[in-house]
Chains A and B, each alone.
Chain A
Amino acid sequence: MRYLRRKALFYLVAVWAAVTLNFLIPRLIKGNPVDAVLAKTQNMTPMSPEARRALELQFGVSDDPLWQQYLGYLGNLLRGEFGLSVAYYPTPVSKVLSQSLPWTVVMVGIATVLSVLLGITLGMLAGWRRGTWLDALVPTTTFLAAIPYFWLALVLLYLLGGVLGWFPLNSGYSYETTIGFNWPFLRSAIYHGILPAASIVLASVAGWLLGMRNMMVSTMAEDYVLTAEAKGLRPGRIMVQYAARNAVLPSVAGFAITLGFVVSGSIATEIVFSYPGVGMSLVAAVANADYPLLQGIFLVISLAVLGANFVVDLLYAVIDPRTRQAG
């Protein structure tokens, strides 16, 4: 329990730091969103100071002292208000996020978890049966990982989507369905998600497999695995409880980092498959100097990274008793 408290405290401090940095950074950047909107709407006629003032208020540009702005910012955050998006003007940032985030989290999240589970399981087997046909998985998957991702994704899309027509070419769902918790929509969302998810799994499974396989091989040389064998335990139990459970620890740490970046989305994936996720929003925000949206996305990303790390820290404590005690 002490471990949990210490961890929770640490993450609270980290969240505060992330939020504060997120407040400061845009204010250190030159230019302000009002100019960006004016440039975007290509308003050639000179603008009245009143109208400009109104826009400034909308975007939260103010001459208040910094601490007052900071308090106001924190208050807005608690209410879930990030301001208005420039790229999707006049949609609020929170709405843009709530529309794009679920797509990314579900599709990239599932793909990442699948890739990790698949890679670790295959890596465990390949390490356990070193030197058999399973070891051929290593060069095969490494080959897939060595192909530049966007090219692999394009080829998949072209062959499976274009030539064979098995999968849709773009979007996250069929526009004939209504978004909501209904079967036609879910089915079309799953159908649209398979190809992008598969491309992510194909490209990333090699890393997990290789890492796990090599850790497995070195763990199997440990005395406790030999002891387990001498004890006459069943091979399956030795493989999972004695070898794999120790070998998986580095992969869990790697998983923590990857999980956090699920939220930022696989930008390449979303662009190639025209998937309506955070990655696409991020690209749009950058292209339009959409600071409020960028700020919102970055905040969500940092919170997600911290959250994922927290979860994995807890997971780590469950599988490795030594971390529970440390400190």
Chain B
Amino acid sequence: MTLDTTAVTGTDVVLSVRDLSVVYDGADPVRAVRDVSFDLARGEVLGIAGESGCGKSTLAYAITRLLKPPGRVASGEVVFHPADGPPVDLSTLHGEPLRRFRWNRVAMVFQGAMNALNPVLSVRRQLADVFTAHRPELRRAEREERCRELLDLVGIGPERLSAYPHELSGGMRQRVLIAMAMALRPDVVVMDEPTTALDVVVQRDILEEIDRLRARFGFAVVFITHDLSLLLEISDRLAVMYGGRIVEYGRAADLHAAPAHPYTVGLLRSFPRLRGERTVLHGVPGSPPDLSRPLTGCAFTARCPYVFDACHHTDPSLRVAGTTRAACLHYDPALRPDGPPEALRAGRFDSGPAECAVEEAGGDPPVDTTGRQPRREAAEPPQASTDPVTAQAESAPERDGAAPETGPWPPTGGGTR
């Protein structure tokens, strides 16, 4: 496992996560994060992508020790390497040392458009709180000065110090949160969907702000979002999560150019390209696995168009797959001596157990829908067909013929290539 993701060996690592697993206890314990390992280099941006429920935020909370019961770290470790001094295992910190560690070394930016700011305290109080908690030696005037500087950093006038969160726009609130994270010049900033609720123009400003601050202070960023296209743009390295695991990990450019895992392929095809040819948009049909049930094989089997026998009983771990690392059995030379199928290497995700042509491409009707039959899948009915009777009639024979979930590789049916 360790070998898999320590792609940054030789560089200066600031945070290393090893085999981290998180369980939400209950009648059916949910294994929300399973054996996640990665290294965060000083000053780099690591993007963590994945759809809702894949464990992204849980991972962030586990790293920052913010998990609340019934959530708990079941195994693994998170080690922080300060520039000066010995490494710190975060799981050994408790009480006062943990409190002091927080924000000093690892700060966090939450989704500010919602309610990450306390509605009943002024911006000044909330910024100054950081200093009273961590720099008690500062005098009142010095604290005030620091707070002004912080707002200035993110381009907000000092008169806003007296404002309350409800008097600020969503973008401003997000800036305040970013300013707050900068207060103690941390080494790592974990950002959990910091731009999700903002419109694209504000989103762009915020991202530029983060980039500028990072260039200035040199902190590393763990950027969590479901927006893969955004991550491809801003990240140095990318981890794609699925079902509580990292299923693909690599440099953002490599991952974009040659995605290895079928899930990454599917995600990359679920947003429109601004330039280049028009293509049909595909989602990744189906929904994430129920992590409260034991998984025997790969978590992605139910939605994977490239599924084969071994997928049902072997849970793959990350291994070299071209330029990235992927947790997919197609890259296991023992099982697949000839390498992954051609279609996967070409980045196709169109022979899946179900398809949906998403009509989002700039309002234009999708081209190239002729010859495609919408097929039905229990979890997510195709959106293309509105008449259930017709859809049923069309899909029934297809289903009988192709049965891609269990059929041999390569699937013979489908007829989309």
Q: Which residues of A contact B (CB under 8 A)?
A: 222-224, 226-235, 237, 241-242, 245-246, 319-322, 325
Contacts and interface: CB of A to CB of B under 8 A. Distances in A.
A226 to B, nearest CB: 6
A232 B166 contact: no
Given A321-B164, A325-B166, A230 B120 contact: no
Given A224-B115, A226-B110, A246-B119, A231 B166 contact: no
Contacts of A246: 118-120
Interface residues of B, number: 31
Contact of B180 (A231, A320, A322): A231
A319 B99 CA distance: 27
Interface string B164-181: 101100000000010010
A246 to B, nearest CB: 6
Nearest to A222: B115
Interface in B331-366: none
What 8 pairs between A and B have smallest CB-CB spacing? Answer: A232-B102, A321-B164, A224-B118, A223-B116, A230-B108, A232-B103, A233-B133, A232-B99
Contact of A321 (B99, B120, B177): B120
Given A224-B118, A246-B120, A232 B104 contact: yes
Given A237-B129, A325-B167, A224 B107 contact: no
A230 B114 contact: no
Given A223-B116, A242-B121, 5 more contacts: A223-B115, A224-B117, A230-B108, A237-B129, A321-B164
Given A224-B117, A237-B133, A246-B119, A230 B167 contact: no
Given A231-B103, A231-B129, A232-B133, A226 B66 contact: yes
B308 interface: no
B64 interface: yes
B147 to A, nearest CB: 14
Contacts of A235: 99
B195 to A, nearest CB: 15
Contacts of A237: 129, 133
B120 A223 contact: no
A222 B117 CA distance: 10
Question: Chain A contact residues: over half helix, strand or loop, or mixed?
Answer: helix
B271 interface: no
Contact of B121 (A230, A241, A325): A241
20 contacts: A223-B111, A224-B115, A224-B118, A224-B119, A226-B110, A227-B110, A228-B118, A229-B102, A230-B102, A231-B103, A231-B180, A232-B99, A232-B134, A234-B133, A241-B125, A245-B120, A245-B121, A246-B119, A320-B120, A321-B120
Contacts of B108: 227, 230
Task: Select the residue from A224, A229, A233 with max chain B CB neighbours within 10 A.
Answer: A224
Contacts of B64: 230
Contacts of A224: 115-119
Contacts of A230: 64, 66, 102-103, 107-108, 110
A241 B102 contact: no
Nearest to B104: A232
B401 to A, nearest CB: 49
B301 interface: no
A25 B203 CA distance: 63
B196 to A, nearest CB: 13
Contacts of A320: 119-120
Contacts of A322: 119-120, 164, 166
A322 B163 CA distance: 11
B102 A231 contact: yes
B12 to A, nearest CB: 24
Contacts of B129: 228, 231, 233, 237, 241
A231 B130 contact: yes
Contacts of A227: 108, 110, 116-118, 177
A321 B166 CA distance: 9
Nearest to B99: A232
A241 B164 contact: no
B122 interface: yes
A232 B100 contact: yes
A230 B130 CA distance: 10
A142 to B, nearest CB: 25
A322 B129 CA distance: 21
Given A232-B103, A321-B120, A325-B167, A223 B133 contact: no
B301 to A, nearest CB: 34
A235 B96 CA distance: 10
Contacts of B104: 232
Nearest to A220: B68
A65 to B, nearest CB: 53
Nearest to A233: B133
B269 to A, nearest CB: 33
Task: Select the residue from B117, B118, B167, B180 with max chain A CB neighbours within 10 A.
Answer: B118
Contacts of B107: 230
Given A223-B111, A322-B166, A242 B118 contact: yes
Contacts of B121: 241-242, 245
B84 to A, nearest CB: 20
A227 B130 CA distance: 11
Contacts of A232: 99-104, 130, 133-134
Nearest to B134: A232
Nearest to A230: B108
B375 to A, nearest CB: 40
Interface in B49-101: 64, 66, 99-101
Nearest to B130: A231
A106 B80 CA distance: 60
Contacts of A233: 99, 129-130, 133
B122 A321 contact: yes
Contacts of A325: 166-167
A150 B114 CA distance: 48
B152 to A, nearest CB: 20
Contacts of A226: 66, 110, 116
A223 B110 contact: yes
Nearest to B167: A325
A327 to B, nearest CB: 14
A231 B109 CA distance: 10
Task: Select the residue from A235, A245, A320, A321 with max chain B CB neighbours within 10 A.
Answer: A321
